[in-house]
Amino acid sequence: MSINQPCGKALNQLLKERAYFVYYRDGNLIYKTDSGFCFTVPTKDCDQAQFKNEDRAMFFLKWIRPAYAESLKELNPQISKQIDTAAKKEPKNPMAEPTDEFERLEGLS
């Protein structure tokens, strides 16, 4: 069961809000932002961290980002394919292959 509600706000706007602790359930801390967006923080991720009753949402980016992506999937199934595809792609390493400009410069030496 997902507690994440589809959110009409952009992620960067959501991160400018405050997050409030709501309750604890099944090894998860449940937080809610000013706009009502809920997300979970697994206690296994907490280690010895201190979680306040109220804090800046930006501090919870690690947990808000996947919850936000999931809420977008629920909001629009077409976005779901794009999110899944983007998550599977490896980020390109610009140092892995020389660029044409680099090869051209190597030929000049």
* pTM assigned to the model: 0.63
Is residue 69 scored above 70 in pLDDT? yes
Total number of domains in the chain: 1
Q: Is residue 15 part of a domain?
A: yes
Q: Is residue 64 part of a domain?
A: yes
Q: Is residue 6 part of a domain?
A: no
In this prediction, residue 88 carries a pLDDT of 62
56 is in which domain, residue-wise?
Answer: 11-108
In this prediction, residue 1 carries a pLDDT of 35
Q: Tokens 């809610």 appear where?
A: 32
**Do residues 14 and 58 touch, judged by C-beta distance below 8 A?**
no
Q: Is residue 51 part of a domain?
A: yes
Q: Is residue 3 part of a domain?
A: no
Position 109 confidence tier, pLDDT thresholds 50, 70, 90? very low
pLDDT digits (tens, 9 = 90+) for 81-98: 666 666 566 555 555 555
